Amino acid sequence: MTARPIGVEISCDGPTGRDDCPDSAAVHALFASVTAQQVRADGRADGWITRRAPGRLLDLCPNCRPARTRAPEEPTR
């Protein structure tokens, strides 16, 4: 039997970057995505953002990212 690496999974760092995501969100790699950079690109296509923090990157899912970076919502009447 041969074991092969299956890539990486990027998980959401939570709304403040110091806590866990309330939805336990994660970006799952596409079959061809094997590096963290490729998986983050997959997440950006789904609305994720990446912010720099001292010494690391913060990955935020669409539910946890700051409101000002979200797509505008339809006005309700």
Specify the amino acid at residue 2.
T
Distances (CA, A) of 2 to 5, 8, 35: 10, 19, 20
Distance (Å, whole) CA 24 – CA 62: 12
Which pTM value belongs to this model? 0.65
The percent of the chain in helix, strand and coil, each rounded to the nearest 5, is: 15, 20, 60
23 touches 39 (CB < 8 A):
no
List the chain residues with pLDDT less than 70.
2-7, 29, 67-77
- pLDDT, tens digit, for every residue of 31-40? 778 788 888 8
pLDDT score recorded for residue 74: 55
